[in-house]
Structure 1
Amino acid sequence: MAREKFERRQKALSGFEVRKSLEPAYTQLALNGADGPLADERVRRAVARALDRGKLAEAVLKPLGLPAEPVGSHLALSGQAAYADGSGALGDQNAKEARALLADAGWVPGGPVKESEDGEEAAGAEKSEDGEDEKKSEGGDEGTYIVGEDDKNPDDKNPDGKSSDGEERGEKDERSSGKNTAQGGAPGAYAPKGTAAPAGSAVAPLAKDGKALTLGFVLPSGPGSDALRTVADRVSDMLEEIGIGTEITKVPDESYFKDHIASGEYDLALYSWPASAFPATDARPIYAKPVPAADGSLNVAQNYTRVGTDQVDQLFDQAVATLDQKKARDLLRKADSRIWAAAGSVPLYQRPQLLAARKNLANAGAFGFETPVHEDMGFLKKGARGSRPSASPSS
């Protein structure tokens, strides 16, 4: 019975095909610069420069047979007049320079890490909204990494088998197994001076002022968010390579934007913006510098990353005020370069657009940037062949 049902379903689906294009919208990684580690531009830039945007685009678009090119602008998409790749203002993916930015901001590998009051480790984890742990990020020990602290006179022992401070050999062995409470008592890994890390090993987590550098990554949990979760996992792996941990929290779709993105309850998040034919006016509230409201709150408009600069605002204002379209485009490209440099958001890829349609339905499907001509749509007569909408992503 089940087999017959399956065969009927397959036969019915055989009359359909998936028509695909690139949607006039892009997905970005948002970095909340309101407070926490990401309030420091150096940390935001380090996160952005740790990302291989090409690989992230491939993860989503390549399996669909779509062009896997990362988006190079916050304000336009490829094929639009205002489009220009402004990512050079930030720089290419470079883990070494990302780590240098973090070091300049005071985040050092192997720094002491304090446990939180509830006894949880200060390391990456994956959680659901109820706070239950789902997955720990790799590369995290349950204590503190202190390199070279415990290698002073390692062979300096008294004739009775004790070290110079009266410590038994067995006690020292116990300490090396991770139970040591010296130097303040946190259990940890103590490496002899000059010990080289094996090839391919994870970078030690970064810490500052006794706190590990762990960013909260909020994602929707609905069935249509598989691509976002794939991207989030890859982003987490890339950040781990420079010593940044992530704690992924999955939340219901209906509360994702209102209770987390718009309210600023996140460090990292993935969401999309549509392309606009009028970026000078439509994109300004997305990137305008937040200003204090009369009641003392912060008016962020649509700038959910809370990152903005006076220069960006001025460039938008000048682009709106001019009637010279070429000058307006130049001003918008300058604004985009400064948005890249501030690293409040990182455009990743143009969203895929997929639509299932009957094979004999002509001129309907995924249109991308094309305008549908409704009077040309319709079913073909039996045996006839007709045109279908172009799958060109930006025509």
Structure 2
Amino acid sequence: MLLVEDDDGDALLVEEMLADTGLVTELRRARSLAEAETALRSTHTPQCVLLDLHLPDAQGLDLVRAILRASPRAAVVVLTGLAEESTGLSAVSAGAQDYLLKGLIEPSALGRSIRYAVQRRQSERAASAIQASRLRAEENARLERGLLPSPLLRSDTIRVHARYEPGREQALLGGDFYDVVESSDGSVRALIGDVSGHGPDEAALGVCLRVAWRSFTLAGARGDTLMHLMEEILNAERAREEIFATVTSLTFSPRLDTVTSQRAGHPPALLISHTRGAELVETEGGPALGLLPAGLARWPETELALPPSGALVLFTDGLFEGRTGPGGQRLGEEGLLALARKHAGLLAGSLVDTLITETQELSAEYGGHKDDRAVVHLEWGR
């Protein structure tokens, strides 16, 4: 505790009353604002300041504000004369935690005021920290929502239903990413990817890769050229050399009779049609981005015939890597396929929600989903 009092007699009275309060405290004294500021800047910052409002180098509310600036963490109890009670109230309005009238101070009242002031200051700091945290969270949420993609489609030939859930608590964005754009020739290109890891660095890298893919795609990059460009971006932007990214890129022909798939270490897609239900689309692929030295990897393209109407569902491995069943085995791609077949007749949005909800419920016993999850439902026809 710091007593800021220039009058030796008043200082002695306060010290004697403090001894009678029962408080266990180390008391230091300053005789001026300058001495108080020096004491408040020391390594042993006091929890409470008892402050007389009349010092040789400062007085009144200006003195209170100076002490508050010098020690924003300490509680301040103002000591004022009988005729200056209004000044004590003004000091509390200015930021002090309490005030006492010198002529009426008793040990019990002094002890109670100090305890109250310290508790109130701690509560104020906690409330301020909560408010700052809430504002940061709101700003981060707005920022992350702004980084999620809006499909760039010139027509309604492909209908997109996407859902994204990060694995990190209190986050809207993780290392998974997706995008859909329609080129000037009428072909629709879709992307889904997954950066290894779950932190903010991985989330930022996922956004970087998505934006790069959209830019390169609209600029006309295709096939291995596009993949190599994305790998260059990943290598330049990743925080650690062991970080890699899996990717699936689809190109729907303008007539929607074929789709070309290119995979870089990513899980297969689900094809859903009225005639065949749900099935996994296994196509040839290459390594994940960032695993091989630059320029060595190849990612073959596979063209598939499409039914007149149906949907391709792209997803990241967070959707099926949860543990389930008595033995805690992974749900896996086959388990996800069984769920897709069970619910293949649902409308697009309901199917996406059901796949995420049921895989979460199946793994709830083992802590539920821990990885990021992105699901993109691309539907045509009907």
TM-score range, shorter chain: under 0.3
Pick 1 or 2: higher relative contact order, CA cutoff 8 A, min separation 6: 1
Higher helix residue share: 2
The structure with the larger Rg is 2
With the length of structure 1 as denominator, give the TM-score of the two structures.
Answer: 0.18
Higher strand residue share: 2
